Amino acid sequence: MTEEPTDAELLARWRNGDAVAGRTLVERYYPGIYRFFSSKLPGEVGDLVQSTFLACIESRDTYEQRSSFKAWLFGIARNKLYAHFRHKRLRVGRTVLLDPAELSCEDLGGSPSTWLRDKDDDALLRRALPRIPLELQLILELYLCEGLTGAALAEVMDMSENTLRSKFRRAKELLRKQVAELDRSPAADQTLASISTWLDDMQEERDRRYPQLADDDDDD
């Protein structure tokens, strides 16, 4: 069986004029970039996905490969998302200042999270995720859904690995708090009791999808 070319190999060929290599690289990451935006925004995804890949194309020759291509691309997507929310706040007369460490996706007019697996039909979790600070929501989603961890995830989020670990713990704490505040019913109590199991299940699925990462984040 022929092994698929790595991101670095495809990028090198793309830089040398191989359009097929470039298209292959874009197709490889299109689902993840689309999911990144669609899990937070209602009906505003297409332009942001296109803008992310256009920025990738425009800067492909200056990308220094100090981080993985995947981390670099999701870093572009993160910047596009933040810029989108800044412009949205400006259009409605709000302050241009955006602090993703404080404001949640819900505060910014985003939509309920849609990235959970079909079997994760608990509406409380879907409603709770956008209520934690946007920065923390991104950390959880990129870690659990896209397989980013350690230095790569820290690169995307523009923070140190120590800060990342601290924020990941904070994200789990706030998720539990938001579930508790959303509903005081027995369903909420059951969800609270199962969040740790849910996170463990999501990590197990991530490790199946990205086996090379299974032993890479024992400290997270």
Three-state DSSP state, 133: strand
**Tokens 């949640």 correspond to what residue?**
104
Mean pLDDT of the chain: 80
pTM check: above 0.85:
no
Produce one character per residue of 11-21: b if its CB has 16 or more CB atoms within 10 Å, e if not: bebbeeeeeeb
Burial of 51 (0-12, 13-18, 19+ CB in 10 A): middle
Three-state DSSP state, 54: helix
Using the predicted structure, report yes or no on whether residue 218 has a pLDDT greater than 50.
no
CB 33 within 8 A of CB 77: yes
Band (120; pLDDT cuts 50, 70, 90): very low
Three-state DSSP state, 17: coil
- The pair phi, psi for residue 133, each rounded to 5°, is -50, 140
Kindly report, residue by residue over 69-89, the tens digit of the pLDDT. 999 999 999 999 999 988 887
Using the predicted structure, report yes or no on whether residue 202 has a pLDDT greater than 70.
no
Q: Which domains does the chain have, with CATH numbers?
A: 7-213 (1.10.1740.10)
